[in-house]
Amino acid sequence: MATCKFCGCTEYCACKGGCFWVNREQTICSSCAIRHGTRFINRVSDAIVRIISANIDEDMSPTVTIEYEDSKRFTITALDFMYHYSEV
């Protein structure tokens, strides 16, 4: 079963307040990516980002707000994030 390598949460036992996977390998959950300041790299542009917030809305797919090293911030869906970024 997919398990977060930091906190051990799973599909069936999410972090308090909810979390979701932020990498394709399903080894890092959104709570831990924020808490640990995990750095991710864009597969195409090589830009480095951190996730600064995870947004869970029951009616929509989850999104993450990411911050680039130049402090620019963007909000994208978790699926887009997983597709374009991987852990450094």
Q: How many residues bind Zn ion (CB under 5 A)?
A: 9
Q: Which one of the spans 1-9, 38-46, 52-60, 68-76 is the region binding Zn ion (CB under 5 A)?
A: 1-9
Segment 22 to 61, residues that bind Zn ion, using CB under 5 A = 29, 31-32
CA–CA distance, 1 with 53 (Å, rounded to integer): 25
Between 14 and 79, whose beta carbon lies closer to Zn ion?
A: 14
Task: Find the shortest distance in angstroms from Cβ 73 to Zn ion.
Answer: 22
Provide DSSP, 39-53: EEEETTT--EEEEEE
